């Protein structure tokens, strides 16, 4: 099952649903990408890794909780990742390096099978490239306590369940409350850019599981 699904996913990632799928889980006040055209050219490059691994008869993925700090993403749920560095050469290398630094995953055994649509994060001025990787056997993970307060494992296919979705007001780091869709994943509220990435991934998975 795992091998077949990964091969089908790899194929589906060649035709991304894009912004429309992302915006199904975007905050109500979120502007469209075209509205950011004057800022995108100066956006900082970054990447995240959506790692998939076999778990019993299913497939799991990994999220992290950021430590609480005085920044726009403090305490939020995210995929492992961070900013591009010149030594990375490619954004996929950024995703792998950051995942290794943050959760201690053995990136030498990860196969990058594709990527999702780039996503602009206005509060931090990052253009994020989400990469999807598959690892046959997950090593023992060690969180970097400076960057990760908790590692969260969750069943990939549970992310498509309607009963984990909702809408509520969330207080942003600037003190303002915003109304936003969210996922309730393993007891954590996942919203914003991470929820938008999951939404696009879910749209792709739905195509595969409906065959």
Question: The whole model's pTM is what?
Answer: 0.93
100: Cβ contacts below 8 Å, ≥ 6 apart: 106, 107
Return d(Cα 118, Cα 39) in angstroms, integer: 15
Least confident of 58-62, 65-69, 139-143: 65-69
pLDDT in tens, 92-150: 999 999 999 999 999 999 999 999 999 999 888 899 999 999 999 999 999 999 999 99
From the list 35, 63, 70, the residue with the least C-alpha distance to 48 is 63
Beta bridge partners of 165: 183
Contact 143, 105 (CB under 8 A): no
pLDDT in tens, 195-208: 999 999 999 999 99
Long-range pairs, 12-18, Cβ under 8 A, ≥24: 12/204, 12/207, 12/208, 13/113, 13/114, 13/115, 13/116, 13/132, 13/204, 14/114, 16/116, 16/117, 16/200, 16/204, 17/117, 17/200, 17/203, 17/204, 18/117, 18/200
- 3-state DSSP call for residue 90? coil
Task: Decide the pairing of beta strands 44-55 and 126-134.
Answer: parallel
- 3-state DSSP call for residue 182? strand
Q: Which domains does the chain have, with CATH numbers?
A: 2-23+31-161+191-209 (3.90.79.10)
- 3-state DSSP call for residue 53? strand
């Amino acid at each position: 099952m795992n091998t077949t699904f990964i091969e089908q996913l790899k194929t589906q990632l060649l035709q991304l649903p894009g912004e429309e799928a992302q915006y199904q889980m975007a905050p109500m006040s979120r502007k469209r990408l075209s509205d950011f055209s004057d800022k995108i050219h100066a956006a900082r490059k970054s990447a995240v890794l959506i790692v998939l691994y076999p778990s019993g008869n299913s497939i799991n993925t990994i999220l992290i909780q950021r430590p609480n700090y005085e920044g726009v993403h403090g305490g939020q749920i995210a995929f492992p990742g961070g900013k591009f560095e010149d030594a990375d050469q490619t954004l996929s290398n950024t995703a792998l390096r950051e995942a290794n630094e943050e959760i201690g995953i053995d990136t030498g055994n990860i196969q990058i099978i594709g990527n999702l649509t780039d996503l602009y994060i206005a509060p931090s001025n990052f253009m994020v490239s989400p990469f999807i990787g598959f690892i046959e056997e997950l090593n023992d993970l060690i969180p970097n306590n400076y960057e990760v307060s908790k590692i969260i494992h969750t069943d990939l296919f549970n992310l498509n369940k309607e009963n984990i979705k909702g809408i509520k007001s969330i207080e942003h780091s600037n003190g303002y409350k915003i109304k936003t869709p969210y996922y309730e994943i393993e007891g954590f509220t996942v919203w914003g850019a991470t929820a938008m990435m999951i939404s696009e991934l879910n749209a792709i998975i739905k195509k595969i599981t409906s065959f």
